[in-house]
Structure 1
């Protein structure tokens, strides 16, 4: 293991080039802040092209000019989100590995704060940040174990129809616990848009379960992570996420969501209400 390195995997499939450029620009700023305080700590980015990536060389030049090592993995086709990240995880020899969505902007101090937290807490194997949306509002992306009702209400009902279920959603989304200043240990499930692992923990887990093509792979990995390390929500680490739910992306995504939910509940147990 290279104890002076943070590896980062970003999986793309016909990505929004503007958002991806923002993600990489934010990674450059976060990397510079990390290097100023920890000069021996460098970053290696794995860009995993599942298809449709236009001009990866131009995009990666932004990183290489900032002294960030880059590896492009391509030609394997659209193998899915988790399997795409696994291609990078298999090659990673870093101290820490960041699973990062291509629509996430890191605040300048995000990596510095995250590494500092993990250095100070060796029991932590997976760190989740405070995640805000474009309006700067906190997103409640830590989760309790889901029921089928929770998933349906949150994923598919319009906002007005959710009102009778607000107390359920508040419990599921841990709104009473999650805020922008309190560290929370061992939330059952954390969001896959930004998952910072000790690489040794991620290797022990063998990365994502390849049976999920898209959706629920982060639920699965979160639950398995508790078996080998502690999971922590650390709001001193902040990121901006531009993502949207499956129901807003069309029928194909709804179908993938349902198929992955079935696999998840078959593995971990069905909970209806």
Structure 2
């Protein structure tokens, strides 16, 4: 595995600020969308830095494309990040050459790399971020402030707005096989008949004007963790290649404290290019579902 590192800037965290590591796993690269993601991340990080909630930012791009074709573009994007916002304490890393090892294992590489760096301390946070998500300017300020002020919380989930403006589900109750069939495979007319059930599963009853604690499962597109918790969990279970890895991580993280829905921490889902969901993806979905339910318990209806 090759990695491109910018020399480390010493971390100087205070009692009211944290070192934040951000990991973005890239497979099928959509350069304009990823550029939007990185720009919004840096802008949100600078707001948190100005408000003394962030001491230092470490940004990892994890290249899961096997051929190496993404590497020149990712190098260019990271170089641009270094010049984009003057005064933001930032160092960047590109991890590549390991092939397509899966979503969770890709983030685990970044976690293992940052654990080897000195200076993170107990205040460190780790953001698992999709490459097609943009952050509102105060999102990291709100998320880091909550983590620093609420010792019982081990991870926070944001309010997610889709491109069409409606709120997507950032939180879920423990699923049944029926829930998954309805969500993933049922035609629209069947979903409409079970709309109340799906809304309950997606926790649409959560208030949007205040935080909610003890969420069962949070979305893997944006998971802001205490790094100490994520390290204790050893990150994602590497046996999940794709699908259900965020469900499993959420279930295991709840043993350490609360997963909190923080609606004032807002993000946008841009919906970048994605692989066509053919038979291979259905097979991966089935294998991951089998592992998840075998590990955490079956529920049929």
TM-score range, shorter chain: over 0.9
1:84-108 per-position Cα deviation (integer Å, ceiling 9, x unaligned)? 0000111224400000000110111
The answer to whether the aligner puts 1:143 opposite 2:167 as a matched pair is no
Equivalent-residue separation in structure 2 for 1:214 and 1:40 (angstroms): 31
Assess if the C-alpha contact under 8 Å between 1:209 and 1:220 holds in 2. yes
Q: Give RMSD over aligned pairs.
A: 1.9
1:238-249 equivalences under 5 Å are 238-243=266-271, 249=277
Match for residue 195 of structure 1 among 206, 220, 223:
223
Assess if the C-alpha contact under 8 Å between 1:155 and 1:247 holds in 2. no
Q: Could you tell me how far 1:247 is from its partner in structure 2?
A: 10
Equivalent-residue separation in structure 2 for 1:180 and 1:102 (angstroms): 25
1:61-76 equivalences under 5 Å are 61-65=79-83, 66=85, 67=88, 68-76=90-98
* Aligned position for 2:101: 79
Aligned positions, number: 271
Equivalent-residue separation in structure 2 for 1:215 and 1:242 (angstroms): 19
What are structure 2's unaligned runs of at least 5 residues?
1-9
Aligned with 1:184: secondary structure? Answer: coil
Change (3 A) 1:102 1:40: closer
* Aligned position for 2:199: 170
What are structure 1's unaligned runs of at least 5 residues?
none
- The TM-score normalised by the length of structure 1 is 0.94
Match for residue 125 of structure 2 among 96, 108, 120:
96
* Aligned position for 1:261: 289
Aligned with 2:267: secondary structure? Answer: strand
Match for residue 249 of structure 2 among 195, 203, 221:
221
1:227-250 per-position Cα deviation (integer Å, ceiling 9, x unaligned)? 012110011100011349x99633
1:43-77 per-position Cα deviation (integer Å, ceiling 9, x unaligned)? 11011001152521111122111343110111111
Equivalent-residue separation in structure 2 for 1:84 and 1:144 (angstroms): 26
Aligned with 2:172: secondary structure? Answer: coil
Change (3 A) 1:140 1:40: closer
Structure label with greater radius of gyration: 2
Q: Could you tell me how far 1:40 is from its partner in structure 2?
A: 5.8
1:32-43 equivalences under 5 Å are 32-38=46-52, 41-43=55-57
Assess if the C-alpha contact under 8 Å between 1:247 and 1:254 holds in 2. no
Match for residue 129 of structure 1 among 158, 178, 191:
158
